[in-house]
Structure 1
Amino acid sequence: KKIVLDVGIGFGKTAEQNLLLIKHLEHFLKFGCPLLVGASRKSVINHYYKSEVKERLPGSLYLHLKAFENGAQIIRTHDVAEHKQLFNMHEAMSQATLW
């Protein structure tokens, strides 16, 4: 069997609880399953920056980058091309060396 653990951003949690989930994803790594985060266009973004759903791309990108940095291996998003560019640049930056 293949199991993916979705931490369930949204779904009855406060905005702060959602941020804490993303901030502390390492606690879920002990289950040995790939972690999925889907914060794309979620109301947690609206809580901190009032915006219509279609205007939440910057917040989605930030939350997904932090989730990735904290252990998420799968990102569910509405904006695939934008996320691909983000993660390509993140990879390039992490591999850049002075010499």
Structure 2
Amino acid sequence: EGEDDLAKGKYDEALGVYRRVVPFQPENGRAKAGMAWALVGLGKPMADRVWGVAVSSDAAAVEKLGDTLMAKGDAKGAKALWAKLLATVPDYPNKSSLQAKASQ
């Protein structure tokens, strides 16, 4: 549900979904990635901190969120997410593949 909202640019709704999930699944990288991206989309002050936590705990989940956004028709959002991931983690293990996806 949260990923559908993100793909449609409904960041407030997505954030609401993730706020209900993350407390009960604190190790869920996919949920943390979604929450972080919703906060980034809303331009919230704590977005960078939550983004940093999501990326440091499960960067692959963040990349997969971009894949999900792309699959749901949000190419712009997916590319922006991947670009932010590349900027945040310059030594990302899958960097060349990620760069290719971000520049499609």
TM category (shorter chain) comes to 0.3 to 0.5
TM-score in terms of structure 2 length: 0.36
TM-score in terms of structure 1 length: 0.37
Q: Higher strand share goes to which structure? A: 1
Q: Higher helix share goes to which structure? A: 2
